[in-house]
Amino acid sequence: MVGINGAPFAQRLDGWELLGATRIGGSGFDRDEINVGKRRGHFEKSRVCARSNGVYVRSLRVVCGNHETQDIRMGRRLREGQQTAPIELEGTERFIKLIELSYGSKPFVRGQPVVCVFGRP
C-alpha cells in the first residue's frame, strides 16, 4: 500500500475500501496495473482519487476473475485530494482481478502524484 509522507492510506472509509494505489513516476502518459484479487470480495462500485498532486486519468479497465472486462473512459483531470463520483461496475457475483489505469501527469514540483482506486461492495 502506498502512503503519503510515510503514512499509509486508510483501508476503509465510509464503506469504501482501498483496492490499491500507484505512485506516478514521471511526466507524460503511462499505464499501471493494480492487482486486487479474489480475497478482496465483490464490488459494485469504484472511484478514483488523486493524492500528493494532480493527475489526468484517461481510462480504467476493470478485469474480472472470469476475464470479462469493463472499459471506463474517464478523460478527467483530478486535482490533489479530488475524487470521481462513484462508478457503477457491470455484472454481478464477480470479483475484480485487476484494474488497469491509463493516466498522464505534468512535470511535478510538489511531489509525485498517487492514484488510488477504492471499491464499495
Note the pLDDT tens digit of each residue in 62-90. 998 888 999 999 999 999 899 999 999 98
Residue bearing the bigger pLDDT, 53 or 98: 98
Give the pLDDT confidence score for residue 12 in this predicted structure.
56
The model's pTM is 0.80
Report the Cα 4 to chain-centroid distance in Å: 16
The residues spanned by each domain of the chain are 25-113
User: What are the two backbone dihedrals, phi and then psi, of residue 101, each rounded to the nearest 5 degrees?
Assistant: -110, 135
Q: For residue 60, which of 113, 2, 115 has the smallest C-alpha distance?
A: 115
